[in-house]
Structure 1
């Protein structure tokens, strides 16, 4: 027993050191995680500075695009600037000789359609509040 007691005490000390190291490591990891998720508080000055920086970056990028000649207009911008686009589809059809075929079998009369949930009756149209069939 006398030989085993010092051995057990040294083993207990070593285990206590290992447990303390593990506990310290976990506490440090928890602190790091809290710092990551906490971040820095946003003040009005920081927000204004960030907005100004973002504006400058966007302005610089737009200027670079213009200088590179890759400034493409959106569809809306093209439509607003080129009024020939208003009639381009009509012109295309006229150039094709109006050889557009329409398969009328793809269309049905609205009365023939059976819609689920048609609680308002056959004469009801949501676009026309006067068409309420319940009156």
Structure 2
């Protein structure tokens, strides 16, 4: 009969002698411990290199059955590469069932990490570059504004004018009303013509319509009275005539 407890204890003692300065025993029922794996240039303070803290847990029938291996901590490794490393270690475990395998797993993890270091670095730099390009593209689109066609502008302008007139209580024109100066200005269709000419000249150029500029029309001080405040003012009289 296999004495699993004895085998586990013997392996743990051997592992402690090999990784004496790095291993951290965190439990003995079952045996649990962590061993760090890192690339040569790893520097925690400067954020360089790759690092994985492997956490081992001996199952009751280890080594006849697989130990639990988890990534307790990681540095500078994305989820995609962690998945690759996890699959690589699973293959090592499957190949070594029935044998003490902690040293083999740690060695395989270190070898994989060092070999993948350049690729990981390149992939992370590429991901950062694409993210930056995406952010710059989104910012550029915001600055460019929305492309406006003659049709879309006229549709927007009609709705905008309708809402503004309703807000001010201006009646819908029938052609018989006597309009105030403000209403004449607000209903001047030549303004639409000038807008259309501007859009036609702009072609496909993206144009931003700032609605606040139209809203400021409400603040214009346009005299609604039919007569001037100057009693001597005569609109039909030429100032230069005798």
TM-score range, shorter chain: 0.3 to 0.5
* Higher RCO (C-alpha under 8 Å, 6+ residues apart): 2
Which structure's residues are more often helix, by fraction? 1
TM-score (norm 2): 0.25
Q: Quick check: which one's strand share is greater?
A: 2
